[in-house]
Amino acid sequence: MSSPIFSSNQLHIHISAQDRPGILAETLAFIVHTGCNVVDIKQFVFNGLLNLSILLDHCDEGRVQPLRKDLSIYADKMGFTATLYPWETATRPDVSYSHRSVVTLLCDSIPSSGFLEVTQVFADLDINILRIEQLDSGDVHALEFVIGTREAHSSVEVLDALVKFKEKYGVDIAVQEETYFRRNRRLIVLDADMTFLQCEVIDELGRLAGVGGEMAKITHQAMNGEMDFKSSLLKRVKLLKGLPQERLYKLSNSLPLTPGAETLVNTLKYLGYKIALVSGGFQFFIDKIKDEYCLDYGFANRLEIKNGRVSGELVGQIIDAEAKEKILVSLAEKDGLSLRQVVAVGDGANDIKMLARAGLGIAFNAKPIVQRQARASINQSDLKLILYFLGINGNDLKELGEMARGGKIQSWLSK
């Protein structure tokens, strides 16, 4: 054990040991005997190795010497390492790194060179890494970095700095402010087509109407921001004129969900989230999905049906980018939530405003124009990956998955 000269009134004890029950209690017994006061305790276990730090005050030399002697003898006997040193101002963390953010990385795996590069990015930005936690290491590697900055680096600055790293290693990244709002999300608003669903419903309708090629071309332009969404929607709806209503019913029974959608819904409902679909598609399909999966809200455009056929016109308000944003804000107000408690997920240009207003906006398999403006992105076709951005770890997912298989989540949803 080291034996520095103590001139401080505060003392830091650091213990490293193979973890077992009782080490903290045994150490505290020595501290209580000396009469020092415990100010703070931090402890974590990594691969069976205990790291324990205890900060004490009222530690004059007369108390420190017996504590050092007794703890040293006991540490040697029990096979662990104990270090005591004065907690001088010079040894304390730089409190100027007071602005905190969370950077979450998702990937298949990260080599050592990848860890080097991401930490070098932080170092070059004068960002201090405060904590690293591995959320999962199975099929998906999920890492969470809590970082501190001297100034309030925006999420965009950090994301811009990580662009090359992201592209080189195929990593999905989210950057969020570390506040209590991040740990208290309560509403998620999802786009439907190519987000909750693995298709563009209007393109499927176009194929049924015999205008698939022309329809898909207009959809591509709209989702990439090359054409105004409202005018593109009206143009595409006109192509559907004369389509029999029974074709809509048939299509509604075969719409493919994106992998992970049910897991995401079941988990978030169990955790108390409200879930909304806000779509530039059609209410006919959104209502069916909403009812089938017990979602709380569903908003979309309404096709006009006349004499059992699509008329080629819409009824009521058009759900475009501005409408999606307004709906998100109104749902938060309705549920008494801050916008920082809202998650938004989408893939197209008409989702950009919605993503920007949410506390966490996620570009999901999104067009380049969307990814450039979102603070989080996922480029894998699995919606349950969103759960990692919410701080849920692999063990949580396994536990919730077992509950789902046992019917506990579904029975809870039916109440």
Q: Is 191 assigned a catalytic role?
A: yes
Q: Write the CB contacts of 165 (distance below 8 Å, at least 6 apart in sequence).
A: 114, 117, 118, 121, 171
Q: Write the CB contacts of 107 (distance below 8 Å, at least 6 apart in sequence).
A: 140, 141, 169, 170, 171, 172
Mean pLDDT of the chain: 90
Q: Which of 136, 172, 191, 347 is catalytic?
A: 191
Q: How confident is the model at residue 412 (pLDDT cuts 50, 70, 90)?
A: very low
pLDDT, position 303: 97
Q: Is the pTM of this model over 0.85?
A: yes
Q: What is the pLDDT of residues 357-400, one digit of tens each?
A: 999 999 999 999 999 899 999 999 999 999 999 999 998 888 87
The CB-side HSE value for 12 (13 A sphere, CA atoms) comes to 14
User: In degrees rounded to 5, what are phi and psi of residue 58?
Assistant: 55, 40
**From-to residues of CATH 3.40.50.1000 in the chain:** 188-413
Tell me what percent of the residues of the chain surpass a pLDDT of 90.
75
**CATH number assigned to the domain with residue range 99-178, chosen from the 4 options 3.30.70.260, 2.120.10.30, 3.40.190.10, 3.20.20.150:** 3.30.70.260
Q: Residue 396: what residue type?
A: D
CATH class of domain segment(s) 11-91 = alpha beta
Contact 114, 165 (CB under 8 A): yes
**From-to residues of CATH 3.30.70.260 in the chain:** 11-91, 99-178
Q: What is the pLDDT of residues 58-84, one digit of tens each?
A: 888 888 888 999 999 999 999 999 999
In the DSSP assignment, the letter for residue 104 is E
Q: 188-413 in CATH: which number?
A: 3.40.50.1000
Q: Residue 279: what residue type?
A: S
Tell me what percent of the residues of the chain surpass a pLDDT of 70.
93
Q: Which of 193, 203, 320, 382 is catalytic?
A: 193
Q: What is the pLDDT of residues 182-230, one digit of tens each?
A: 889 999 999 999 999 999 999 999 999 999 999 999 999 998 889 999 9
Q: What is the pLDDT of residues 87-144, one digit of tens each?
A: 764 455 556 788 899 999 999 888 999 999 999 999 999 999 999 999 998 889 999 9
Q: What is the pLDDT of residues 310-361, one digit of tens each?
A: 999 999 999 999 999 999 999 999 999 999 999 999 999 999 999 999 999 9
Q: Which two tokens stand for residue 385?
A: 């990956």
Q: Is 139 assigned a catalytic role?
A: no
pLDDT, position 415: 43
Q: Which two tokens stand for residue 374?
A: 């979102």
